[in-house]
Amino acid sequence: MNPSSDNEVPISILLVEDEADTREILSRMLTIKLPGIRLLCAENGKSGLELYQEHRPDLVITDINMPLMDGLSMAGAIREQHPETHIIVLTAYDDTNYLLHAIEAGISHYVLKPINQRKLFASIDRCIDSIRMKRQVREQENFIRKLSRAVDRSPSMVMITACDGTVEYVNQKFSDVTGFAGCEVVGRDLRSLFAGRVADDMTEELWKSISSGKEWRGELQNRTKGGERYWESVAISSIVDEQGAITNFVIEKEDITRRKLAEEEIESLNARLAERAAELEALNGALEAFNYTVSHDLRTPLTVINGYNQLLRERYADRLDQDGAGYLQTIADEVQQMNKLIRSLLEFSRMGRQELDCTEIDLSYLAKAIMEELKHKTPERAVTFVLQNGICCNGDYALLRVVLVNLLGNAWKYTGRNEKAVIEFGAQVIQGETAYFVRDNGAGFDMAKAEMLFTPFQRLHSAEEFEGHGIGLATVAQIIKRHNGRVWAEGVPGSGATIYFTLEMSKQSAHALSS
């Protein structure tokens, strides 16, 4: 026999006996036969009552004749406070009047002295069984109360029906969403709640599924008590008894109106995006036609102009004065500039359509190679190049080379009038993001006009100061945008400029920052 387990509170017993030897013997017997109990001992009714009031034991075993307070008086006081307490009396009296008096005191078990050990522990076992049963009932009641409270406060609508579909329970969330009070729904047939809202074939499938013990799930459009439409996700499952017969159905419903509206909005947006994609496809076709026109129709007359210009210079050079020769040279120069402009326009238009081929790129090595090319073209210039080594990223090599060619080329161009030009390439962390930069100590620019830098054909310096068409930085911006990055500039007139850009194709690394 084991009145306690690892998952329950040990049963406590109060032993009240004024004879020390008897009390000692009973204590040992109880602890040996009931090793899991919590035992309390008292030598008279008065101290026994005090111990009871302090510890509230589950079972009291008491003698009758004791000093200060007898066992029956103590039992009566205990019963007045806690009638459910089990009390076993140890007595030498067996007359009827005494027994009636004991029953009136609320004692249901008594053992005659001299104590019969078998009868005593049989009474104790019955009391312990009753105590455990009451504990289980109390725990089940508490669990049911918690479960009921959890269901009633659930964020989902919950319904319980009988096996014939009659609604027996709805929680508060059901009333909050539908507007129907519980009393307006309880007692109604569940089928009537679906009537007119679910197709007949779905209703047949639903009842066939749940009647066989399977769960049914679906999404339905319903109406509130006020007639307002809403969407709900419904799950219906069955509850069966020990024989496997269905006793109830549990319906859990979730208001999914917001999700449905969002899906409809997304569907509408997708339709609009598809329309927009078709428009962009048409625009791309027009752009292709424009590119062909630029490359063919505009270059053809330029080729003719350049050809006739060369004929004039070759055949009639001896007939032209200095001014005439200068005019022909100007025509040749302008034709060359126009060809460069057309080429820049074509390259710019291709940047927005070129497929990306992303790989790991050593930007430091690429920047160094580009600077070597610039020095080779104009070896007479004295330019100091400051380079951070080991700066790597993930991106399209060909496009990012165009970015560095433009940025380093601009830095080279705008430091052309500096005796001690300095151009720097590196990377730094700005607000937790790796930003790559090209910095120079050249002509700089007015920050009030910084937004113009990345707009096609917008130039902050005249052609007489520095040559160019205003396409380079616009091309850079287009490429960086393709890499999901951003680009910006900082500058001071006469003190140089810095162009920053980020790349978000994948996680970038800038090893130089940690060195």
Q: Do 130 and 113 reside in the same domain of the chain? A: yes
What average pLDDT does this structure show over 357-379?
Answer: 90
Question: Would you state the pLDDT for residue 44?
Answer: 94
Maximum average pLDDT range among 101-105, 247-251, 361-365: 361-365
* pLDDT for residue 303 is more than 60: yes
Task: Please report how the helices 322-351 and 257-292 are oriented relative to each other, as an axis angle in degrees rounded to 10.
Answer: 150
Is there a domain that residue 269 lies in? no
pLDDT of 74 above 60: yes
HEC secondary structure over 408-429: HHHHHHHCCCCCCEEEEEEEEE
In this predicted structure, which of 63-67, 86-90, 343-347 has the lowest mean pLDDT?
A: 343-347
285 pLDDT tier (thresholds 50, 70, 90): low
Shared-domain flag, residues 44 and 137: yes
Residue 145 forms part of a structural domain: yes
Q: Check residue 166 and report its DSSP letter.
A: B
Residues 469 and 398 in one domain: yes
pLDDT exceeds 50 at position 165: yes
Confidence of residue 188 (pLDDT cuts 50, 70, 90): confident
The structural domain count of the chain equals 4
Q: Residue 427 sits in which domain range?
A: 358-514
Does residue 404 contact residue 363 with C-beta atoms inside 8 Å? yes
Bigger pLDDT: 306 vs 133: 133
Last residue of a domain, one of 105, 128, 150: 150
Does the pLDDT value for residue 427 go beyond 90? yes
More confident residue, 199 or 314: 314
Are 435 and 491 part of one and the same domain?
yes
The answer to whether residue 264 sits within a structural domain is no
| Domain's final residue, options 351, 383, 416 | 351
- C-alpha to C-alpha distances, 208 to 165, 167, 213, 458, nearest whole angstrom: 13, 18, 9, 73
Q: CATH number of the domain that 66 lies in?
A: 3.40.50.2300
Q: Could you tell me which residues come within 8 angstroms of residue 226 by beta carbon, excluding any fewer than 6 positions away?
A: 179
Checking if the pLDDT of 114 tops 60, the result is: yes
Cis peptide before 67 (omega within 30 of 0): no
The residue that leads in pLDDT, 244 or 422, is 422
Q: What's the CATH code of the domain at 245?
A: 3.30.450.20
Q: Give a yes or no: residue 1 inside a domain.
A: no
pTM: 0.40
Amino acid at 105: A
One domain, residues 378 and 334:
no
**Structural domain contains residue 406:** yes
Q: Is residue 4 part of a domain?
A: no
Q: Indicate whether 508 pLDDT > 60.
A: no
pLDDT at 511: 39
Can you give the pLDDT at residue 507?
44
- For 128-163, the pLDDT digits (tens) are 999 999 888 888 888 877 877 777 778 888 888 898
Q: Are 376 and 246 in a shared domain?
A: no
> Does residue 434 form part of some domain?
yes
> Which pLDDT score is estimated for 64?
85
CATH number for 492? 3.30.565.10
- Report the alpha-carbon angle 91-94-95, nearest 5: 135
Q: To the nearest 10°, report the CA torsion of 447, 449, 453, 454.
A: 110
Report pLDDT for 510.
39
What mean pLDDT is predicted for residues 377-392?
90
**Rounded to an integer, what distance in angstroms lies between the CA atom of residue 233 and that of residue 222?**
10
| Residue 106: predicted pLDDT | 62
Task: Answer with the one of 150, 165, 195 that is the final residue of a domain.
Answer: 150
pLDDT tens for each residue of 445-466: 878 777 777 776 555 554 455 4
Asked if residue 288 belongs to a domain, the reply is: yes
Looking at the structure, tell me whether residues 321 and 419 fall in a common domain: no
pLDDT at 473 over 90: no
Say whether both 160 and 103 belong to one domain: no
